[in-house]
Amino acid sequence: DSSNLAECIRLAYLLQCLKASERQHPVPAPYDFLRMATQGGADCLNRPDLGALAVGRAADFFAVDLNRIEYIGANHDPRSLPAKVGFSGPVDMTVINGKVVWRNGEFPGLDEM
């Protein structure tokens, strides 16, 4: 277990695609895997303050520059990125509880010594 949510989303999607020809029902949409991992995880933990970007929620998320070549497969639908393409490099921004803690290789707000 790598504790990598993005990797788990992609593997779940790819495994469903692998077995799709053996089933009667279609593979869920790529975005459904992201929703199951985020909103579904929050629901399982009974944490209404987590799982989605909305007023009153924790607002923990990361952002990547979709113009990088490795993410070209998600240009038509950025929400499908975790399932179809995955994340292979560093993120460009991380937000925890609504505060930017990492942006473009720096920790904004961190005092230099």
Chain segment 48-88, per-residue pLDDT in tens = 999 999 998 998 899 988 888 888 877 788 888 889 888 87
Residue 49 has a CB neighbour count (10 Å cut-off) of: 12
Query: Given this model, what pLDDT does residue 42 score?
Result: 94
- Count of domains observed in the chain: 1
- Portion of the chain with pLDDT greater than 90, in percent: 52
Residue 93 phi/psi, 5° resolution?
-155, 140
Mean pLDDT across the stretch 4-10? 88
Q: What is the mean pLDDT of the chain?
A: 88
CATH of the domain at 26: 2.30.40
Q: Which domain holds residue 50?
A: 5-103
Mean pLDDT across the stretch 1-27? 86
